[in-house]
Amino acid sequence: MASFITTMSVPAPPTPAHSSTTLGESPTRSPSLSLSPSFYQTTRTSHVPALEPPSYLSPAVRALKQGCFGLTPPSNARTRAPFKPRSAAKGTSSYQLRQFAEATLGSGSLRKAVKLPEGEDLNEWLAVNVVDFYNQINLLYGSITEFCSPQTCPEMKATDEFEYLWQDSENYKRPTKMSAPEYIEHLMTWVQGNIDNEQMFPSRIGVPFPKTFPSLLRQIFKRLYRVYAHIYCHHYPVVVHLGLEPHLNTSFKHYVLFIDEHKLASGKDYWGPLGDLVDSMLRSD
């Protein structure tokens, strides 16, 4: 089967009135996704836009095209609320780790960028990076929200056999079915709430991370993955049309390599609908 990502035709320029395009795959099979290694050469610090993006594009799309796809994107086009990256004052361990991450990402080596810097605390490195992935995914999803509505995406799905139900400890104590945008809104709010919780994500030097941090971190990474899966399976043609596929592919490969490096995946079925794409990314690195 030919690669979906490299061969699927892109429809005429979509408008907000159009519904999002889903994969034309059998509901009993996951799509076979593979990418050329050349897709992953775009890094956030080396991207230089040739022209000012058109004014009709959404703020998130303009930010991506202007090369603002960095570790701390400027705004959340979905809610218009500012991003709240993990605070890190100069001289602190978090600040130094963020500087290291920016430098290694700029070097073009994603495999190098995900490795724990020598002599640094693992939990602090994981915390800094989970916030960065949260920001990346928030900005990527913000670029296609006008094509992801309760009408076009009434369920939070990847492929048909992978539907995600929302559950938390406060308002949804049982798994609850909801539309994709509603699910993602709850997810981002939940992640932000944990990041802002000093007991779970301590930002002061010398304050240890709680014993529950590793399990919480794994849950955050697992849930963030579902946004990537939804975008790839339901909105990839729009991403291609907007010219944002290098950003999406680079961000996802960075995520995949980070999960692989730090053994954060839980079981062989962790990648589900994007398993073939993940295998391709790991082989090409």
The tens digit of pLDDT for each residue in 217-257 reads 999 999 999 999 999 999 999 999 999 988 999 999 999 99
Residue 101 or 58, more confident: 58
The rounded radius of gyration (Å) of the Cα atoms in the chain is: 18
- Contact residues for 184 (Cβ-Cβ < 8 A; gap 6+): 141, 148, 156, 227, 230
235 is in an annotated binding site: yes
Residue 74 or 91, more confident: 91
pLDDT at 22: 32
Domains of the chain, residue spans: 39-151+180-284
Amino acid present at 139: L
What is the per-residue burial (b if ≥16 Cβ within 10 Å, else e) of 240-260? Answer: bbbebbbbbbbbbbbbbbbbb
Decide if pLDDT at 48 tops 80.
Answer: no
Decide if pLDDT at 26 tops 90.
Answer: no
Contact 102, 70 (CB under 8 A): yes
Two structure tokens written together for 93? 């361990």
Give the pLDDT band of residue 12 (cuts 50, 70, 90). Answer: very low
Which residue in this structure is represented by tokens 């996951």?
30
Query: Got the DSSP string for 46-96?
Result: T---SSPPPTTS-HHHHHHHTT--SSS-S--TTT-PPP-PPP--TTSHHHH
148 is in an annotated binding site: yes
pLDDT at 267: 72
Give CA–CA dist 138/128, Å, rounded. 16
Give CA–CA dist 277/251, Å, rounded. 13
The tens digit of pLDDT for each residue in 106-130 reads 445 888 889 999 998 999 999 999 9
In this structure, whether the domain defined by 39-151+180-284 belongs to CATH 2.40.30.60 is answered with no
> Chain-wide mean pLDDT for the chain?
73
pLDDT at 71: 36
68 is in an annotated binding site: no
186 is in an annotated binding site: no
Which neighbouring-strand residues pair with 20? none
